[in-house]
Amino acid sequence: MPDTRVTVWNEFVHEQENDTVAEIYPDGIHGAIADALAERGFDTETATLQEPEHGLTEDVLDETDVLTWWGHAAHDEVDDAVVERVKEHVLDGMGLIVLHSAHFSKIFRELMGTTCALKWREAAERERLWVIEPSHPIAEGIDDCIELDEAEMYGERFDVPQPETLVFNSWFEGGEVFRSGCTYRRGDGRIFYFRPGHETYPVYHDEEIQRVVANAVEWAAPSDERATYSQGNAEPREDIDTSDDRTVH
Amino acid sequence: MPDTRVTVWNEFVHEQENDTVAEIYPDGIHGAIADALAERGFDTETATLQEPEHGLTEDVLDETDVLTWWGHAAHDEVDDAVVERVKEHVLDGMGLIVLHSAHFSKIFRELMGTTCALKWREAAERERLWVIEPSHPIAEGIDDCIELDEAEMYGERFDVPQPETLVFNSWFEGGEVFRSGCTYRRGDGRIFYFRPGHETYPVYHDEEIQRVVANAVEWAAPSDERATYSQGNAEPREDIDTSDDRTVH
Amino acid sequence: MPDTRVTVWNEFVHEQENDTVAEIYPDGIHGAIADALAERGFDTETATLQEPEHGLTEDVLDETDVLTWWGHAAHDEVDDAVVERVKEHVLDGMGLIVLHSAHFSKIFRELMGTTCALKWREAAERERLWVIEPSHPIAEGIDDCIELDEAEMYGERFDVPQPETLVFNSWFEGGEVFRSGCTYRRGDGRIFYFRPGHETYPVYHDEEIQRVVANAVEWAAPSDERATYSQGNAEPREDIDTSDDRTVH
Amino acid sequence: MPDTRVTVWNEFVHEQENDTVAEIYPDGIHGAIADALAERGFDTETATLQEPEHGLTEDVLDETDVLTWWGHAAHDEVDDAVVERVKEHVLDGMGLIVLHSAHFSKIFRELMGTTCALKWREAAERERLWVIEPSHPIAEGIDDCIELDEAEMYGERFDVPQPETLVFNSWFEGGEVFRSGCTYRRGDGRIFYFRPGHETYPVYHDEEIQRVVANAVEWAAPSDERATYSQGNAEPREDIDTSDDRTVH
């Protein structure tokens, strides 16, 4: 995927306010993810909340095949106009990878239409992400499950629409389960929600987690030749009588 | 279903402005639908755009098991606060039946997360709604397909998320197809999009169309005993160490 | 559901050969399930492997709305002709509830088209069945999850087609997860696979497990008025030229 | 996809018995499909019913990434042992493209678990295959719909399990609709059912149809790095008490 262009977005708040987080992610969570993707051959840029228009101008999005999104403490500070712009690009074909606490981001909730609420607990507990669909490209390279020693727990009932494909299903030490890898199509765009990744645990330094994010980016990238279509008022394809004049339009 | 309470909502604009429509629906589209449901034993009320809060106050929605929605010319006049209130009720379990041109209603677009755009044509052409899943309760009583002599055409690409179950699939005289009966779950609520029904054709007087709307209302009605669940910060179910103090919350 | 007729099928081998099992299920697993359903108002019969035609004659199936199936040690002893007969009835609308180790039954594998293989372990470990879709009728009456103190473990990768709706998702003490409540449609029939239930643990005496089985039976029962349809060579609905004579039939 | 190896299977009966068919497909339907795929860069072989083991020996299947299947008059002549062998390879990851009248092939019916029955009519009528999911790779390169001047009609109710993704939806001149492009996962394998293609019409010479078959082959090809997993008796991942000795195994 030498020509897939990825923009890695991060709210970049915890890293600047908290030493524990800064130590784990000295270049920000965006830096860690961007590096992991660049190493795997993607053409990678970053953008953060603090930049003008959060770094997500029309120009940037026009040049983006797949956007990854991490947010947690500052969902409300994301400008509604930027959210609408991102949404339009997704519906127009841009891939979107929604990471961890971004389940509560404006953009994900807008695209899902639900609350995206869930159970959670911070206890540095063990998580296992079991592969449910081994033939899915997002699961490539994984053997049975990914094991994380320290994870925040997310538990069901996760209020999202049923995914098109459930790729990963998580087990937590404290007793819960979670649909942790979910694919969706919205408009012309492909979306992947991927659960792992907390600011106080070094999850994005994990090789297997990086592999899945890279797989997801590759899967979500739009094709240059994808199907086209028209919408709106349409002439008939068959020779039919169109003289009905009862319209109130 | 003697105790299922249905609120039939209609923007009620065409009927008051256009003689053709008024002739077909002298009591409004809401009147026709409400009568059809009342005849089949449902406890039925109506509400329209022109009423205070569009007739959809918190009290009304609290007493509503299933809301049916018809709109076309005045989607933008529906107050955003009312849309949010309806959405909350749907996510909380209220059934929602979205009819015809309400594909472009604020409430449907909010719940779907997509543009809900499609092809359309007014040519009083023939439509056949073929049953795709005969075992689905919404298709009860239908033999092979429903045939409508005069229908507005809606054609694919219909920009909605993939339905949980595709119940009906439409054929149009002019050459198009359309997924015309689609079920969704959003939050605790069940949603059915049903395509037929135009202001200038007497579609809601058709017995089979009425039957499907009634089937859908019955299917979408929430159970008094439906599963409950908690969300938010959760105590572990297993005896695990919860002493991690790295949280930045 | 006073008039839903259920046939509870059991291979009835362990109970006759093993004292531990006989003590837990003195009337057989079929007896326990049939009693639980009868108490909830279903019209219930039982059938076992040892009966002529395994108790599943054409007459019995004709009078059955929903069949529940438990097997483990003797899948291969089930006659292929009986399996075909059951399959035909399912495709013709009879509900089928597939329980626990019946994941490897001939009838389930025939209807799924896959190996239905999984991971397993007998360690009397704790299982929690978390509700994934609270609005689904099969989850009625459950609060968050069902907890079983002693269960056989079943783990992913469970080789089944993606379910229409994932209703329950299981957590196991030893570290695995499992899609433990899965709905399918096949032909005109509704199928529910429900994981719990092992011969050496008293799972079918659990009130919540009984409730789910009863919910599933109610959900799977065919409607008397379900949609009908024709198949095979079809006359055109439109006036088209049918004079093409190139057929090689 | 220079290294994707495709085996194009054809029963090759009509072409040898009927002049009309032989004229349209002088090299057999398999020849036409294989040529179209070879032109697009695939490493292509053919196999037919008349060859020993129908040309589908263990060695051939071991060297096959994706198998395409066309059959019509001789489904019953396909040896059950070969069908089982093909099924095992599909469940083990080999892609399968099921074409037109192969809806009634043993292999498709085995993998679907249903009758796969449908309506049909030979009247050389017009078909339009509308794109339902423009972001799906199988739809690449198509604009709105594919139009075929002469097609056999297939109509709903098509008795198959709900597809994972409905990619194409067909309109027929005589009044019917049909889910004409359906994806499935079974085991580790990806399956695509594609409706077009009749022995008496030159459908497989159509560029757009060829494009879709090629897209489907590319989509269905297994990855060398796809996820792996174990099944069967499993050691616990957590430190739990495994001393339960009630097993009857």
Give the SS3 label for residue A182.
strand
Say if the Cβ atoms of B147 and C237 lie within 8 Å.
yes
Q: A182 pairs with which residues across the strands?
A: A166, A193
User: Does the CB of B50 have a partner CB in chain D at under 8 Å?
Assistant: no
How many contacts, defined by CB atoms under 8 Å, are there between C and D? 164
CA distance C91 to C191: 10
DSSP letter string, A6-45: EEEEE---HHHH-HHHHHH-TTHHHHHHHHHHHHTT-EEE
Q: Which chains touch C (3 or more CB pairs under 8 A)?
A: A, B, D
pTM: 0.97
pLDDT at C249: 64
Taking a contact as any Cβ pair under 8 Å apart, which residues of chain C between 189 and 248 contact chain A? none
User: Does the CB of B156 have a partner CB in chain C at under 8 Å?
Assistant: no
pLDDT at C246: 80
User: Does the CB of C173 have a partner CB in chain B at under 8 Å?
Assistant: yes
Domain ranges of chain D: 5-113+180-220
Ramachandran angles phi, psi of D190, nearest 5°: -105, 135
pLDDT at A207: 98
Q: What is the DSSP letter of D63?
A: T
Q: What is the DSSP letter of C58?
A: H
Say if the Cβ atoms of C226 and B139 lie within 8 Å.
yes
Chain D residue with the nearest C-alpha to that of A173:
D238
Say if the Cβ atoms of B157 and D128 lie within 8 Å.
no
Band (pLDDT 50/70/90 cuts) for residue C100 is: very high
> Among all chains, which residue has been given the structure tokens 């296992």?
A128
Band (pLDDT 50/70/90 cuts) for residue C243 is: confident
Say if the Cβ atoms of D143 and A227 lie within 8 Å.
yes
Q: C213 pairs with which residues across the strands?
A: none
Chain C residue with the nearest C-alpha to that of B142:
C227
pLDDT digits (tens, 9 = 90+) for D28-87: 999 999 999 999 999 999 999 999 999 999 999 999 999 999 999 999 999 999 999 999
Question: The tokens of C192 are what?
Answer: 């529910």
pLDDT digits (tens, 9 = 90+) for D120-143: 999 999 999 999 999 999 999 999
User: Does the CB of D149 have a partner CB in chain C at under 8 Å?
Assistant: no
Average pLDDT, chain A: 96
How many contacts, defined by CB atoms under 8 Å, are there between A and D? 84
pLDDT digits (tens, 9 = 90+) for D227-243: 999 999 999 999 999 88
Q: Is it true that the peptide bond before D109 is cis, omega within 30 degrees of 0?
A: no
Amino acid at D61: L
Instruction: Single out the residue of D34, D19, D20, D43 nearest to residue D68, CA to CA.
Output: D34
Say if the Cβ atoms of D200 and C248 lie within 8 Å.
yes
Q: Which long-range contacts (CB under 8 A, 24 or more apart) does A84-89 make?
A: A85/A56, A85/A58, A85/A61, A86/A56, A86/A61, A87/A111, A89/A61, A89/A64, A89/A189
Q: Note the ipTM here.
A: 0.96
- The H-or-E segment that residue C16 falls in is helix C14-17
Contact C195, C178 (CB under 8 A): yes
> Among all chains, which residue has been given the structure tokens 């929690």?
C128
Give the SS3 label for residue B167.
strand
Task: Compute the nearest-CA separation of D225 from chain A (Å).
Answer: 5
- Asked if pLDDT for residue C248 goes beyond 90, the answer is no
Instruction: Single out the residue of A33, A8, A3 nearest to residue A196, CA to CA.
Output: A33
Burial of C81 (0-12, 13-18, 19+ CB in 10 A): exposed
C165 contacts in A (CB within 8 Å)?
A: 162
Say if the Cβ atoms of D188 and A141 lie within 8 Å.
no
Say if the Cβ atoms of D132 and B171 lie within 8 Å.
no
pLDDT digits (tens, 9 = 90+) for B125-173: 999 999 999 999 999 999 999 999 999 999 999 999 999 999 999 999 9
Task: Compute the nearest-CA separation of A189 from chain B (Å).
Answer: 10
pLDDT digits (tens, 9 = 90+) for D188-222: 999 999 999 989 999 999 999 999 999 999 999 99
Q: Which chains touch A (3 or more CB pairs under 8 A)?
A: B, C, D
Mean pLDDT of B70-83: 98
C-alpha dihedral, D201 to D207 to D213 to D218, nearest 10°: 170
Give the SS3 label for residue B17.
helix
pLDDT digits (tens, 9 = 90+) for C153-209: 999 999 999 999 999 999 999 999 999 999 999 999 999 999 999 899 999 999 999
User: Does the CB of B187 have a partner CB in chain D at under 8 Å?
Assistant: no
Instruction: Single out the residue of C50, C57, C47, C44 nearest to residue C13, CA to CA.
Output: C50
CA distance A11 to D84: 53
pLDDT digits (tens, 9 = 90+) for D151-163: 999 999 999 999 9
pLDDT digits (tens, 9 = 90+) for B27-72: 999 999 999 999 999 999 999 999 999 999 999 999 999 999 999 9
- Asked if pLDDT for residue B248 goes beyond 80, the answer is no
Say if the Cβ atoms of C200 and D123 lie within 8 Å.
no
User: Does the CB of D155 have a partner CB in chain A at under 8 Å?
Assistant: no
B124 contacts in A (CB within 8 Å)?
A: 241, 244, 246
Say if the Cβ atoms of A121 and B233 lie within 8 Å.
yes
pLDDT at C3: 86
User: Does the CB of D133 have a partner CB in chain B at under 8 Å?
Assistant: yes
pLDDT at C150: 95
Closest CB to A177 among C157, C165, C169? C169
Question: The tokens of D111 are what?
Answer: 């993998």
Which of B121, B126, B130 is the best residue to mutate to test the D interface, defined by the most D CB atoms within 10 Å of its own CB? B130
Which of B171, B238, B239 is the best residue to mutate to test the D interface, defined by the most D CB atoms within 10 Å of its own CB? B171
User: Does the CB of A149 have a partner CB in chain D at under 8 Å?
Assistant: no
Task: Compute the nearest-CA separation of B193 from chain A (Å).
Answer: 15
List chain A residues with pLDDT less than 50. 1
Task: Compute the nearest-CA separation of A50 from chain D (Å).
Answer: 32
Contact D48, D30 (CB under 8 A): yes
User: Does the CB of D80 have a partner CB in chain C at under 8 Å?
Assistant: no
D240 contacts in C (CB within 8 Å)?
A: 123, 125, 173-174
pLDDT at B247: 79
Q: Go through D90-116 and write b for each residue having 16 or more CB atoms within 10 A of its CB, e for each that does not.
A: bbebbbbbbbbbbbbbbbbbbbbbbbb
Give the SS3 label for residue C72.
coil
How many contacts, defined by CB atoms under 8 Å, are there between A and C? 56
Mean pLDDT of C3-18: 96
Task: Compute the nearest-CA separation of C26 from chain D (Å).
Answer: 16
Task: Compute the nearest-CA separation of B3 from chain A (Å).
Answer: 28
A176 contacts in B (CB within 8 Å)?
A: 234, 237
C133 contacts in A (CB within 8 Å)?
A: 162
Which of B135, B171, B192 is the best residue to mutate to test the C interface, defined by the most C CB atoms within 10 Å of its own CB? B135
User: May I ask the CATH class of domain A5-113+180-220?
Assistant: alpha beta
